[in-house]
Amino acid sequence: MTQSLRDRVAIIIGSSSGMGRATAVTFVEAGAKVVLAARRQTELQSLASELGENAIPCPTDIQDTKKVERLTKLTLDHFGRIDILVYVTGTNIPNRSLKVLSDQTWNMMIQTNLTGAFYCTKAVLPTMRQQKEGLIIYISSAAVQFPDTSGVSYQASKHGLVGLAHGTFKEEKENGIRTSMIFPGLTDTPLVLQRPVPTPPETVAKALQPQDVADTCLFVASLPARTYIPELVLMPAGLA
């Protein structure tokens, strides 16, 4: 499996920490060339130095279409193609209940978790169409299958990713472009710290690790182009 990404080019959105960082490391170890995208420049440069010549940083605010276009241009200029896009970035806020959720916070959540994914999808599609091949992996949340108190803005945005993924596949499958949705359950990432009530340490100890999600992304990306995984739910066994 680890040889199947040899010389494939992947853009990892949200690669400065957590699941995105683990995915970037895992893809490079599997032979891929990776463009590291996130807002935090220092973290990206540090990771790129750690990974070597097969990884380059590109600080990117995915809410800015011009910066997303710059990201794809840099990828093509440096590596010549775009085979895989992994949209791992996402956010949540402590003040998430309907009683306190503001219009501004709602818009920020939708912009980051969903609209940014649309911008990135739209940016890579022309190259993937030309190649007649491409894979887009979106990281959503198990809250889509199992509604919880993660907040309506978070859940709405993560549900929206499903429509983006499936709609894109229906429109682009004749161009060889596939999409996959991954729905992780509780994962031990910095996002857990955004909960209004701290998660008990004994619960976090049973959570998924970022590497579990990275390995799942690698599995999906390593499959041949004739395969299609519309959705994959990944849950921590101890909390299921």
Strand-pair partners of 184 = 234
Known catalytic residue at 154: yes
DSSP per residue, 157-209: HHHHHHHHHHHHHHHHGGGTEEEEEEEE-SB-SGGGGGSSSPPPHHHHTTSBP
| Beta-sheet strands, E only, within the chain | 9-13, 33-38, 55-59, 84-87, 134-139, 177-184, 231-234
Q: Which of 87, 138, 154, 228 is catalytic?
A: 154
- How open is the CA angle 172-175-178, to the nearest 5 degrees? 60
For 233, list phi and psi in degrees, rounded to 5.
-95, 130
Contact 112, 91 (CB under 8 A): yes
Collapsed DSSP state (helix, strand, coil) of residue 139 = strand
Written as six digits, the tokens of 6 are: 């040899």
- Which DSSP letter does residue 115 get? I
Strand-pair partners of 187 = 208
Contact 128, 137 (CB under 8 A): no
**Strands 231-234 vs 84-87: parallel, antiparallel or unpaired:** unpaired
Active site residues: 154
